Amino acid sequence: MTASAGTTAPLAGARRVTATVFAAQGVAVAAVSTTVPAVEHRLGLSSLAMTALTVALTLAAGAGSFAGLAAVRRRGPVAVMRAAALTAAATLLTVAWAPGRAAASAAYVLFGLALGAIDVSVNTRAATVERRYGRSILSSFYAAWSAAGVAAALLTAGLSRLGWPVQYVLTAHAVLVALLALTVRPHALAPTASSANDRPAPDDAMPEGRVWARLVPFGVVLLVAYVVDSTVSAWSTAYLHQTLGASLAAAPLAYAAYQAGTVTGRAGADLMVHRVGPVAVVRAAALLAAIALTGLAVAPSWPYAVVAACCAGLGIAALTPLCVAAAGRLRPGAPETVLARLNVFNYVGVLVGAGASGGLGATGHFRIAYAIPAALAVTLVLTARFFRPAPEQPHAGTELRPGSAQVLPQVLPAERAPIS
């Protein structure tokens, strides 16, 4: 049955707002990642000190994820999304104009807290919106994140080429994040007919230990995906500048290329899952990422590294949304609790990737920093089988025709209470 205009208008608005917050987060992350060499120069930081700041930011993001979970339960995801994005914009300004290392370090930590709160709130909202649509749209949200990252990286490169100091570059990013956050509005989503008829899922009563056990395979994939992501995102600019001799204007292009690859991959991920299934998508993505990271590690010059970074993004693109969608189905009554736990793997991956690659880069071994994630990506082929969905059970009175089982269950859980 076709939804009425009164039903589809709030739903479309909710999807647009969710994509906007994903984009704001993408801009914020790109702003920090693509200004690493410039911030180092401005504050007189060593590579090891910058690595320590990146690790502190990541630990703060993990804490912010659980703080965001508590806030989502009290205020709802939309309010948390907006407040956290505005906080991220404010902390970018603080990093830009910090008078010294202590103030900049505090700003990085606060930025991490805001980033974690955005993560759990926007993914919770995305799960609810996808459920209302009744089909897979999660990859489109992550595509918005990546597209915004491309734009932000190109903005950094362009402004740096014009000779703008890093203070003004980060200020431009902060203004963009704030403008996106200010467009966020709540949209009340009434239960659909299909969701009203859904039976309570037996997974809601699943013991805590079993939830963790079933979450681990997806967590491992997410961990490796974020090792790859953080290694490319956090340090590709520094790699091109320090190891491959790229200028400060050219160095951000690897980040832009990586995010362009993820935009392309995520734009087609939902279609590929429908056609060949999630298992085949995970295997192909893992192998492509491994090959691309190997190319990045042995790149003879920075243009080759830019191409390899693009291919790495194309390979790794689908893994995060597939993990989030699979994990959200483990506890249909309360997806935000599972997603907050999944974020533990996310931030461990970022911590390992950013910390290890930064440490190797500080000692002049950036190439090894890209070879290690290449080996890890190959191991994801073994975990692909866990993405094979169980056949959906028909509702009472519904005939299940042969061959009608879906490749991927597309209905994600609604939250326990309506959230505006």
pLDDT at 101 over 80: yes
pLDDT at 392 over 60: no
Give the C-alpha separation, 237 to 140, whole Å. 26
Q: What pLDDT does residue 389 have?
A: 65
Whose tokens are 């919106």? That residue is 129
Which whole-number Å values give the CA distances from 401 to 390, 392, 406, in the listed order? 16, 12, 11
Round the average pLDDT of the chain to a whole number and report it: 82
Full residue range of the structural domain in which residue 230 is found = 9-189+206-387
What tokens appear for 5 in the block?
């205009």
Contact 340, 80 (CB under 8 A): no
Any long-range contacts for 157-160 (C-beta under 8 Å, 24+ apart)? 157/34, 157/249, 157/250, 157/251, 157/252, 157/253, 157/256, 158/249, 160/38, 160/248, 160/249, 160/252
Contact 312, 320 (CB under 8 A): no
Looking at per-residue confidence, does 354 or 293 come out higher? 293
Give the C-alpha separation, 26 to 39, whole Å. 19
Q: What pLDDT does residue 184 have?
A: 93
Angle, CA of 386, 388 and 393, to the nearest 5°: 125
Which whole-number Å values give the CA distances from 12 to 18, 24, 25, 133, 331, in the listed order? 10, 18, 20, 9, 25
- Residue 310 within a domain: yes
- Residue 210 within a domain: yes
Contact 136, 130 (CB under 8 A): yes
pLDDT digits (tens, 9 = 90+) for 339-376: 777 878 887 887 788 778 778 877 778 899 899 989 99
pLDDT digits (tens, 9 = 90+) for 61-88: 888 988 998 999 899 999 999 999 999 9
- Residue 132 within a domain: yes
- Residue 414 within a domain: no
- Residue 300 within a domain: yes
Mean pLDDT of 43-55: 85
Which whole-number Å values give the CA distances from 259 to 201, 256, 293, 313, in the listed order? 36, 5, 14, 6
The structure's pTM equals 0.72
- Residue 401 within a domain: no
- Residue 420 within a domain: no
- Residue 119 within a domain: yes
| Structural domains of the chain, count | 1
pLDDT digits (tens, 9 = 90+) for 159-170: 998 999 999 999
Closest CA to 128 of 137, 119, 140: 137
Give the C-alpha separation, 156 to 173, whole Å. 8
pLDDT at 60 over 60: yes
Rg (CA), the chain: 21
Percentage of the residues of the chain whose pLDDT score is greater than 70: 84
pLDDT at 23 over 70: yes
User: Domain containing 313 — which CATH number?
Assistant: 1.20.1250.20
Assign 384 a pLDDT band (cuts: 50, 70, 90).
confident
**What 3-state DSSP class applies to 388?**
coil
Which whole-number Å values give the CA distances from 393 to 389, 390, 400, 410, in the listed order? 12, 9, 9, 13
pLDDT digits (tens, 9 = 90+) for 190-242: 655 444 443 434 444 455 567 677 888 888 898 999 888 888 887 888 899 88
